[in-house]
Amino acid sequence: MKKLRLALILIFICIFGIYFFHNSFAADSTVAKEKGGKITASDKKSSSHPTTEISMTCSECHEVDYDAKSTATRMWINNYKQMTRDEIWKKIADFLPYRQRFVMATVGGSWWNPYPTATTADFTLVPDEHIIICSNEKGTEKLAQLKKNPYVSLVHFEGSIEGPNPPEKRWWKSVQIFGKATMFDSDAKEFEELSKKYVFYRVQSDRAKKRMVMTKIDIERVIYFDSSLMKEGYSPYQLWENPNFKK
């Protein structure tokens, strides 16, 4: 009989324990609700949305479903202040004077080589034409890939680097360009024209030209990032799109 009573008491303690445990979790989930529910990355804040600081990202308060199209960057672009197209383009052009070094990714898409290729190359932006130009040596992997798939993504960036001593000022600027490449070798009439706009700093011999290809990239869109824009009340990500781009 004593044993039975002891067992009953133990069972009671267990039930109580579970009850308490459950309640403390339930309390947690009401906190989560106050934080804001689950949203997708294409959602926009309504005008009645609680006020948030510009430096806060949506995912600090919401569980966000991201996919390749609705990205964290898109979320900034959709929800925070954008500059006008012309203002953004001017920022881009100011950030890329003369010639700048980019990392460009190409995807050739062979079944035996699924890798994208990232390479560095110097590019000159032609602001009036919304194109960016580079000169390449014939026969590189990059050119072989571009012949199969002319679509590219390229990035130029500058900013402070975190080291053993923190930088005096933290800042970060970058442009990510999406576009379509067309290549011209020295026989094509566009070659001369493009090489004038590219502005070679050394005279190119005819022999050198024979080894070269001028690559023109028509720009479809640019994501301009500037960490200092937040202070002016703008989204740090600014999207510029070219309405005249032909796929």
Least separation in angstroms between CB 1 and ligand HEC: 56
Check if the beta carbon of residue 182 is closer than 8 Å to that of residue 132. no
Cβ count near 241 (within 10 Å): 12
- Which of 35, 170 has the CB closer to ligand HEC? 35
Applying CB under 6 A, the span of 46-54, 107-115, 121-129, 150-158 interacting with ligand HEC comes to 46-54
Query: With helix as H, strand as E and coil as C, how does 34-78 read?
Result: HCCCCEECCCCCCCCCCCCCCCCCHHHCCCEECCCCCCHHHHHHH
3-state secondary structure of 30: helix
Applying CB under 6 A, the span of 15-23, 28-36, 165-173, 235-243 interacting with ligand HEC comes to 28-36
For residue 97, what are its two tokens? 């004077």
Q: Does 31 bind ligand HEC (CB under 6 A)?
A: no
- Which of 66, 178 has the CB closer to ligand HEC? 66
Distance CA 238, CA 44 (A): 16
Check if the beta carbon of residue 199 is closer than 8 Å to that of residue 208. no
Listed in sequence order, the DSSP H helices in the chain are 2-34, 72-79, 85-95, 141-148, 189-198, 206-210
184-243: contacts with ligand HEC (CB under 6 A): none
Q: Does 50 bind ligand HEC (CB under 6 A)?
A: yes
Least separation in angstroms between CB 81 and ligand HEC: 12
Q: Does 170 bind ligand HEC (CB under 6 A)?
A: no
Least separation in angstroms between CB 49 and ligand HEC: 4
CA 37 to chain centre: 26
* Length, in residues, of the chain: 247
Q: Specify burial of residue 175 (Cβ count, 10 A radius: 0-12, 13-18, 19+).
A: buried
Q: Does 75 bind ligand HEC (CB under 6 A)?
A: yes
Least separation in angstroms between CB 37 and ligand HEC: 7
Cβ count near 71 (within 10 Å): 15
Binder of ligand HEC out of 30, 48, 55, 244 (CB under 6 A): 48
Binder of ligand HEC out of 24, 29, 30, 46 (CB under 6 A): 46
* Lookup result for tokens 């004038």: 196
54-73: contacts with ligand HEC (CB under 6 A): 56, 58, 60-62
- Which of 183, 230 has the CB closer to ligand HEC? 230
Least separation in angstroms between CB 88 and ligand HEC: 20
Binding site for ligand HEC (CB under 6 A): 34-36, 39, 43-46, 48-50, 52, 56, 58, 60-62, 75, 79
